[in-house]
Structure 1
Amino acid sequence: MSTSPYLLLFFSLLFLPLFTHSTNPSAINDDVLGLIVFKADIVDPYSKLSSWNEDDPSACNWDFIQCDPRSNRVTRLALSGLSLSGKLGRGLLQLDSLQSLDLSKNNFSGPLNPDLLRLKDLDTLDLSQNGFTGSIPDSYFEQCRSIRYINLANNMIFGEIPKNVGSCPTLAELDLSGNRVSGSLPSGVWALNALRNLDLSDNELSGDIPVGISRMFNLRSISLRGNKLTGKLPDDIGDCLLLKSLDLTGNSISGELPVSLKKLSTCTFLSLRSNSFSGEVPSWFGEMKGLETLDLSWNKFSGEIPSSIGTLNSLKVLKLSGNGFTGSVPESISGCTNLQEADFSWNSLTGNLPSWIFKLGLQRISFADNVLSGAIPVPESGNPSVQVLDLSSNSLSGWIPVEISNLQGLQFLNLSWNSFSGSVPVSCGQLKLLEVLDFTGCGLNGTIPSEIEGAISLKELRLGRNSLTGEIPTQIANCSSLTYLDLSRNNLTGPIPAALSNLTNLSTVILSQNKLSGSIPKQLSNLPRLLSFNVSHNLLSGDIPSGTFFDSIPSSSLSDNPGLCGALVKKSCPAVLPKPIVLNPNSSNPLVEPSPNNPTNFHHKRIILSISTLIAIAAAATIAIGVITVTVLNLRVRESGARSTAVLELSDGYLSQSPTTDMNSGKVVMFDGSDPEFIAGNHAVANKDCELGRGGFGSVYKATLIDGQPVAIKKLTVSSLVKSQEDFEREVKLLGKLKHRNLVAMRGYYWTPSLQLLIYDYISGGNLYKHLHESSETSALSWKERFDIILGIARSLAHLHRHGVIHYNLKSSNVLLDSSGEAKVGDYGLAKLLPMLDRYVLSSKIQSALGYMAPEFACRAVKITDKCDVYGFGILVLEILTGKRPVEYLEDDVVVLCDLVRTALDEGRVEECIDERLCGKFPIEEAVPVVKLGLVCISQVPSNRPDMGEVVNILELIRCPQDSPEGEIS
């Protein structure tokens, strides 16, 4: 029996709609499945993806997702800045209609997945500001289909750029900046004809820039700054006629500038700063009419500055510093009517200052370190634009114009090391916004004008090495923002004003080599931020004040003051004995000494109190005062304790969380938004039995939430130094956002003016110091445990540095181990809670463990960066490997760990670099590179130390891939 063809057609038409409609739901379910798989592979600490539910038929209503309204397929996934972490699995590959994927500003890690570029509709891929590692796979750019935008900036990617990078014909923007990409720049890059923006800055690219860039005829912007490129600039670079921005800052490119550059008439930004370009600056620069920023500073240019620059009407920033320019400054630059910043410093320019210096509306002017002469042009009235004026280290002469006060917007004024005459202009006190005034070595005479008090924003006053006379005006004390005062090497007389003690921001006072007399005011010992105080070579006398700063002041800061006495100058102060008191019983005033001219007085008995009697009376009075003082202090302590207890309300078994309007009371704030209740049976913060430890910032106590979960509470002992509540809460909330498996998580905080608490996760395994130095041989850490701890610490520091946080206080007692032995770094970023960071970083309050402090802490001229953490990490690595403290004090010797390890390694005695409790059970192929890495990290020069992201990469490469048992060294 045969089937009718009409019947078959009927059934086909009947079921065709079913098949047609079934494809769409299936595809939609693929999206749901892919996103749920993606979510399962990552960590979402703040539950930002809570709306993603696997039971939903469609993902279009989920947060951070956009769909095509016709097909209901996911087309955009925007998860930027959600603190997500983990590795990217294969779930995203199910989203075959995805057009835009933004995972930037998270904590994703692991290698790059080239399969993402296989998504046929993918247009935009942004993986910037994460922790992706490894090299870019050779097949990465071969997968391109419709991709136009790739951003991999600020990760930890290393290795070379694949030579087939030019295989993405549709690519319009490529950003690989802020990684560790090395090798040469492949010429294949120039094959990206559609490319508009290329950013390869802040990598480690080396070699010459290849010829062929003219093929990128759509190029608008290229940045190769911060690499190690050499050779000459390609001649065809000027053929990129649409180029608007060219940044080659910070390389080693040399030679003369190619003539083709003049064809870039639409270029607005050109920076060749910090290279080795040479020759004269060509006059054809005047043809680049679109230039707004021209930076040729710190090269090897010579000759005169071309006058044609004056034809650049759009120019806003002109930087020519650090070259070998000679001749005078062109007057034609007056034609740059939009110029805002002009920097000609560090050249060999001669002649007078140009007449246009105060006429163009410039904001920043610098002619420092040249050979300019003549007088300073008189500023016209009503000139609020100039903010920075630096004319230091020239041969300028004449009087400093009184009209300098016409520059009402001035914030920085440096005229130091010139040959002026006359006195400090009284009108300087009218500069209300002035923060820095430097007239060092200017040949000035006369007195310091009291009107200087009018400069209410002044932070630094430098008048040293002049011929100033008279007394130090007490009105200086009205400059309440003053932090630096240098009046050294003058002829000042009179006393040091006690009113200086009102300058609570003062950190440096240099009054040496004057003729000051009198005593050092005792009130100065109360200055909370004082770091340096030098009054040597004066005529001071009397006792040296005692106090926090003066107890440790170098004796050289007080030398050559014959009248000073005290332990610091090794000169005892003379005893001041009271004059005997004669009581005259016939006098109406018994304390009046009898007159020798009255003969009757010799018949009356004179009562003379001996010195010993007076001492006994004084001692009794002292004891009585002491008893009263102790009693009053005891009452105050009890009252303070009662207030603290009231604030915490440790009554009825719980810590109250109720808000209050009392300024002296506060509320516990938890970052997860919960409203915690603490079991107060042990009164944790007030009970010594709950104390877990003490550190430079405070004591740590164990407390328990009502649900039984333990937490650690740090009670800050620097509460009197902590910033305002607003600053404190801002810093703490930033620290609370830092989430990493190797950081002790901050859970919340508590603030009142008298009490600050920080709430952390409780880590049960104790600190690393105890495991290294207080454990038995049988419980000593294994090699694998030590390596994992080192790697965990490195990852945590890399995470901190990626978010702009410096630890400042890395040491073994600040590294905790959880129950599984994983390292958790604590006490990070707390130094930012203090108002004067440098003072306390340099003090034992923060850097309490000798040996971890980077050498740059001892030099205030060196900026403290995250490289100080790298140094502390290097010391910590050596401590973990050897089981020895950074500094060991023996009976007749002091052993510095880094010196010990370096010597042993140089002499081939590797076994002495590893803890003897391991009994030689460690892989030599791991141990030696880790020891060397530790030594590299403690380089005396900060720039020679690796970044922590690079350290993590090195450690991951060092780790032996096989999980074989630890072998003995041969």
Structure 2
Amino acid sequence: MSDQTRKRVSCTLFLALTLISLINGDDINSIQLNDDVLGLIVFKSDLQDPSSHLSSWNEDDNSPCSWSYVKCNPKTSRVTELSLNGLSLTGKIGRGIQKLQHLKVLSLSNNNFTGNIIALSKNNNLKKLDLSNNNLSGSIPSFGSISSLQYLDLTGNSFSGTLSDEFFNNCSSLRFLSLSQNNLQGQIPSTLFQCSVLNSLNLSSNGFSGNPSFVSGLWTLQRLRTLDLSFNALSGSIPLGILSLHNLKELHLQGNQFSGSLPSDIGLCPHLNRVDLSFNRFSGELPRTLQKLSSLTHFDLSNNLLSGEFPAWIGDLNGLVHLDFSSNGLTGKLPSSVGNLRSLKDLILSKNNISGEIPESLESCKELEIIQLKGNGFTGSIPDGLFDLGLQEMDFSGNGLTGLIPRGSSRLFESLTMLDLSRNSLNGNIPGEVGLFIHLRYLNLSWNNFNTRVPPEIEFLQNLTVLDLRNSALIGSIPADICESQSLQILQLDGNSLTGSIPEGIGNCSSLKLLSLSHNNITGPIPKSLSNLEQLKILKLEVNKLSGEIPKELGELQNLLLVNISFNRLIGRLPDGGVFQSLDQSALQGNLGICSPLLRGPCTLNVPKPLVINPNSYGNGNNNEGTNGNRASNSSGKSHRGMFLSVSVIVAISAAILIFSGVVVITLLNATVRRRLAFVDNALESIFSGSSKSGRSLVMGKLVLLNSRSSRSSSSSQEFARNPESLLNKASRIGEGVFGTVYKAPLGDQGRNLAVKKLVPSPILENLEDFDREIRILAKAKHANLVSIKGYYWTPEMQLLVSEYIPNGNLQSKLHEREPSTPALSWDARYRIILGTAKGLAYLHHTFRPPTVHFNLKPTNILLDEKYNPKISDFGLSRLLTTQDGNTMNNNRFQNALGYVAPELECQNLRVNEKCDVYGFGVLILELVTGRRPVEYGEDSFVILSDHVRVMLEQGNVLECIDPVMEQEYSEDEVLPVLKLALVCTSQIPSNRPTMAEIVQILQVINSPVPHRMMDSF
């Protein structure tokens, strides 16, 4: 019998038997006994059972009590329990389940049931209902009529909507309730407080909202042992009254928007063993009553706004296993009483303002596995005893620690997986014992003062994935076997004083994705073995003394995206294929003779020297000839030598004549060009003088405010002209970027604030006329989404650019540096920023004359006004920081642009191409939609945002990329096309990227009511 036929027969039987029951009541006992058989068969007919777990369910049986997963009451033979957990069943919970009127336990967890659960709301005898981890949806019906229900678990489904006020009308028996990991919203019904015997309440990971009065009502549930409201949108302060929860053991409020002080009576719950209040907005000092929580094992207050000194009473909580106070504003010293925490495994205090030395008493915490003190003000040396513990992770980065790295013990050698001592002032040798950390995956010792060699024992770290030794004053050569670890993915040795050559063995790092050896004194050729690194994405070799030709085999590295080989002694042609054919000038400049149309200067090729036959070889082969024969041979040799020399002299003379002629011609041409340029300059000066009443002032040391009278009348402007450095010292410093430092100063009309950027040195800034001309061109750019240029100040020693002041800060601070107390950007605001930025760039590319490429588009250069309208800053400044012959400035200034520059360029490159702006704009879109940075580094890998989103889109999971802080307030019909547009903008092939004018049109279509299917082609 087919499934469809069986289903039709079962449904017919169900209807027939129901009709007979209605007619005859309870008189036919055999039919009543078969209600359970019929109900289960009808229930099975709505399911798919790929593993035939329900094969014993036979519709011809008189009773289901012998069926698998079914239990009956032995006296009545009625079904009381149905447990189908984890059987990979799919389908819906149909009406057949309604026939099981004596059912007390229904457990269908960890399957793939879909649809709603309305059919279950009429089973009046249910005591336990477990539907967790399925794919059920719709609203949750009221279970108010089921007075017997004691256990209700709907965790991990897709239920949505709000809970009705009647949901908890009759919950006097309910002891366990979990609705976590659904899509429920709105306020939690006040009838919840009628569930007087509730022991465990879990409403986490939904969208519930509420105010302090709701939270206050929770404390009436005096039998509550576990309360989990984490990851919702609950807000307000927590009122006093928690003391009434005398039986509470676990309190989870993390991931909400609670604010205010911690309730002082929270420490009076004697049985609390887990408290997690992280990722909220709690402020103030820690209440002293917390020290009474003697049963506490897990204590997490991270990512709040707490202040005050680190509590000295922390040692009284001697049962603590996990302590996390990271990302707050705690001050003072870490007390020695922390050594009393003998059971402590995790100590996480990163990103506070704790100072002083690391207490040696920590050595008494023998169970410690993780210690993170990153980003504080700790000083002194690292206690040797910490390296005798069985630590797994140790992060002391970003402090002021000095002295030596302890050598460690056998216990640490076998346990440590992550060690970060970067950004301190450690010195001395890196101990050779570092090679004994057999499980170490992440090692970061960068930004210290070791002044020692790279320990060769590094080769023994077979599990190492990240090795970062940047800027640590390292000397000597790179160990030959540094790449013995087949798992190494990131190797950074840049910014040291390393010498010698790049070892051939570096080609053994088969997993390497990032190799950075820049800013050293490395010599010799680039080894061909680098072509073995098939997963390599970033290669940085700039500012060394590398010589020879670039191995052509490197062009076969298909995954290579970013390369910089500038400022070496390399010669010859670039490899064919790969990223090398699209390298920018600044990735190549500063070499002896690389052959590229982007570079000026000689092109040197290593070609075989021509074969020259020695003229003396003729006649020298026969030594037995007589005197006459020798003379004949000698005279013949002289004749040939004379002929050879004559030809050489002729060639040399001809070459000299040609070179001399070329020099004369070039000199004459240069003189002509100089005369023409002088004529053009004089003509321009006349035009400017004739078009202005006051004339064009080019007096150095004068503050020039274009189109304003403030340069003459404002007292602050006059003071600025007299002593600009003094005024800048008094002004507010509001930012710093690759082009200079920005201040806020009252220089406009009636003391209006303007932004003053003190520009970094550049050759073009040394010429007042060139500087004045460039600034006046940029000042003509007038657009609602561009920061307007107001003027400048120039002396040979200092050049300042004056522009309008935007008071609301930049996109970087709103997107990536947001304080927990600051609301996240809404989707409407993000879309407004995307569209406005696109319009500003389109104006620069297509309307403004001359067309201008931004070069350095990123969130710090997107300023926001009071209504979150974007204004692009720093446009066109790249021309102020290039020499007159077109060579770009030192590209170290663009290191913070990593991730925004197109893949055909090296990570620090810029070039005149509007498609580069399009790529950077695409990355900016991805940042705004996902809330993530363009490149994110983990412990053992790094993620390029555009690659990640592209993979998620191909897998059909792109919605998981959307910034979770937007909390479903966006429209998928807008977000998905915008994400697709971003991926088109970040295409690997520049010609595939749209223009900014096309992008503006697409964005306007996306936001219009007209269907925007045009994005489906992307």
Q: Note whether the superposition's TM-score is higher than 0.5.
A: yes
Residue in 1 that maps onto 2:547: 541
CA distance in 2, matches of 1:857, 1:353: 33
1:463 aligned onto 2:469: yes
State the secondary structure of the residue aligned to 1:60.
Answer: coil
Structure 1 residues 380 and 268: CA distance shift in structure 2, 3 A: closer
Structure 1 residues 558 and 405: CA distance shift in structure 2, 3 A: farther
Structure 1 residue 186, shift from structure 2 partner:
2.5
State the secondary structure of the residue aligned to 1:469.
Answer: coil
Contact 1:27–1:73, Cα closer than 8 Å, also in 2 = no
Which residue, out of 218, 221, 224, partners 1:219?
A: 224
CA distance in 1, matches of 2:980, 2:570: 54
Residue in 2 that maps onto 1:577: 608
Residue in 1 that maps onto 2:144: 142
CA distance in 2, matches of 1:118, 1:411: 55
Residue in 1 that maps onto 2:186: 183
State the secondary structure of the residue aligned to 1:466.
Answer: coil
Residue in 1 that maps onto 2:909: none
Residue in 1 that maps onto 2:655: none
Structure 1 residues 598 and 187: CA distance shift in structure 2, 3 A: farther
Contact 2:352–2:375, Cα closer than 8 Å, also in 1 = yes
Residue in 2 that maps onto 1:122: 126
Opposite residue 560 of structure 1, the aligned amino acid is F
Cα deviations by residue, 1:860-902 (Å, 9 ceiling, x for unpaired): 44575897533699699759999xx999999997599875443
Structure 1 residues 51 and 551: CA distance shift in structure 2, 3 A: closer
1:523 aligned onto 2:529: yes
Contact 2:538–2:562, Cα closer than 8 Å, also in 1 = no
Structure 1 residues 911 and 449: CA distance shift in structure 2, 3 A: closer
Opposite residue 25 of structure 1, the aligned amino acid is S
Cα deviations by residue, 1:826-847 (Å, 9 ceiling, x for unpaired): xxxxxxxxxxxx9xxx99xxxx
1:201 aligned onto 2:204: yes
CA distance in 1, matches of 2:481, 2:1013: 62
Structure 1 residues 582 and 132: CA distance shift in structure 2, 3 A: same
Runs (5+) with no aligned partner, structure 1: 1-18, 590-596, 611-837, 844-849, 916-930, 939-970
CA distance in 2, matches of 1:472, 1:283: 54
CA distance in 2, matches of 1:550, 1:214: 63
1:561 aligned onto 2:577: no
Matches within 5 A, 1:757-796: none
Contact 1:582–1:607, Cα closer than 8 Å, also in 2 = no
State the secondary structure of the residue aligned to 2:167.
Answer: helix
Structure 1 residue 199, shift from structure 2 partner:
0.6
Contact 1:469–1:493, Cα closer than 8 Å, also in 2 = yes
Opposite residue 564 of structure 2, the aligned amino acid is S
Which residue, out of 492, 496, 519, partners 2:502?
A: 496
Which residue, out of 153, 174, 177, partners 1:174?
A: 177
1:358 aligned onto 2:363: yes
Residue in 1 that maps onto 2:418: 412
Matches within 5 A, 1:633-712: none
Contact 2:124–2:145, Cα closer than 8 Å, also in 1 = no
CA distance in 2, matches of 1:512, 1:94: 75
Residue in 2 that maps onto 1:99: 104
Number of aligned positions between the proteins:
650
Contact 2:39–2:97, Cα closer than 8 Å, also in 1 = yes
CA distance in 2, matches of 1:890, 1:433: 46
CA distance in 1, matches of 2:631, 2:515: 57
Structure 1 residues 68 and 895: CA distance shift in structure 2, 3 A: farther
Cα deviations by residue, 1:190-240 (Å, 9 ceiling, x for unpaired): 221111111100111112241222321211101011011111113222211
Opposite residue 525 of structure 1, the aligned amino acid is S
State the secondary structure of the residue aligned to 2:282.
Answer: strand
CA distance in 2, matches of 1:893, 1:36: 59
CA distance in 2, matches of 1:456, 1:889: 40
Residue in 1 that maps onto 2:54: 49
State the secondary structure of the residue aligned to 2:482.
Answer: helix
Structure 1 residue 94, shift from structure 2 partner:
0.3
State the secondary structure of the residue aligned to 2:522.
Answer: strand
Residue in 2 that maps onto 1:275: 280
Opposite residue 1012 of structure 2, the aligned amino acid is C
Cα deviations by residue, 1:541-590 (Å, 9 ceiling, x for unpaired): 2222334664675675212223244334462551412452759799999x
Residue in 2 that maps onto 1:913: 1012
Which residue, out of 147, 153, 156, partners 1:154?
A: 156
Cα deviations by residue, 1:766-802 (Å, 9 ceiling, x for unpaired): xxxxxxxxxxxxxxxxxxxxxxxxxxxxxxxxxxxxx
Structure 1 residues 297 and 876: CA distance shift in structure 2, 3 A: closer
Structure 1 residues 403 and 109: CA distance shift in structure 2, 3 A: closer
1:870 aligned onto 2:872: no
Opposite residue 426 of structure 2, the aligned amino acid is F
Cα deviations by residue, 1:352-397 (Å, 9 ceiling, x for unpaired): 011123331211011110011111111277x352111111000111
Contact 2:531–2:556, Cα closer than 8 Å, also in 1 = yes
CA distance in 1, matches of 2:199, 2:323: 26
Structure 1 residue 479, shift from structure 2 partner:
2.6
Opposite residue 291 of structure 1, the aligned amino acid is L
Structure 1 residue 71, shift from structure 2 partner:
2.2
Structure 1 residues 39 and 319: CA distance shift in structure 2, 3 A: same
1:286 aligned onto 2:291: yes
Contact 1:31–1:74, Cα closer than 8 Å, also in 2 = yes
State the secondary structure of the residue aligned to 1:451.
Answer: helix
Residue in 2 that maps onto 1:918: none
CA distance in 2, matches of 1:182, 1:876: 22
CA distance in 2, matches of 1:164, 1:282: 38
CA distance in 2, matches of 1:598, 1:290: 113
Please tell me whether Structure 1 or Structure 2 has the larger radius of gyration of its CA atoms. Answer: 2
Structure 1 residue 407, shift from structure 2 partner:
2.4
Which residue, out of 834, 859, 881, partners 2:935?
A: 859
CA distance in 1, matches of 2:991, 2:607: 45
State the secondary structure of the residue aligned to 1:452.
Answer: helix
Contact 2:536–2:557, Cα closer than 8 Å, also in 1 = no
Residue in 2 that maps onto 1:4: none
Runs (5+) with no aligned partner, structure 2: 1-23, 575-579, 581-587, 589-593, 596-602, 623-629, 645-898, 905-918, 938-942, 962-971
CA distance in 2, matches of 1:585, 1:56: 115
Residue in 2 that maps onto 1:902: 1003
Opposite residue 563 of structure 1, the aligned amino acid is L
CA distance in 2, matches of 1:111, 1:243: 34
CA distance in 2, matches of 1:460, 1:404: 22
Contact 1:223–1:247, Cα closer than 8 Å, also in 2 = yes
Structure 1 residue 512, shift from structure 2 partner:
0.8
CA distance in 2, matches of 1:435, 1:905: 45
Matches within 5 A, 1:45-444: 45-113=50-118, 115-137=119-141, 140-166=142-168, 167-209=170-212, 210=214, 211-361=216-366, 362-379=368-385, 383-403=388-408, 407-408=412-413, 409-444=415-450
Percent of paired sites with the same residue:
34
Structure 1 residue 69, shift from structure 2 partner:
2.6
Structure 1 residues 480 and 162: CA distance shift in structure 2, 3 A: same
Q: What TM-score comes out, normalization by structure 2 length?
A: 0.59
Structure 1 residue 119, shift from structure 2 partner:
2.0
Contact 2:420–2:444, Cα closer than 8 Å, also in 1 = yes
CA distance in 1, matches of 2:124, 2:635: 122
Structure 1 residue 154, shift from structure 2 partner:
1.4
Cα deviations by residue, 1:657-676 (Å, 9 ceiling, x for unpaired): xxxxxxxxxxxxxxxxxxxx
Structure 1 residues 524 and 898: CA distance shift in structure 2, 3 A: same
Structure 1 residue 475, shift from structure 2 partner:
2.3
Structure 1 residues 117 and 171: CA distance shift in structure 2, 3 A: farther
State the secondary structure of the residue aligned to 1:501.
Answer: helix
Opposite residue 132 of structure 1, the aligned amino acid is L
Contact 2:177–2:201, Cα closer than 8 Å, also in 1 = yes
CA distance in 1, matches of 2:515, 2:120: 61
Structure 1 residues 495 and 195: CA distance shift in structure 2, 3 A: same
Query: What is the RMSD computed on CA atoms of the aligned residues?
Result: 4.0
Q: What TM-score comes out, normalization by structure 1 length?
A: 0.61
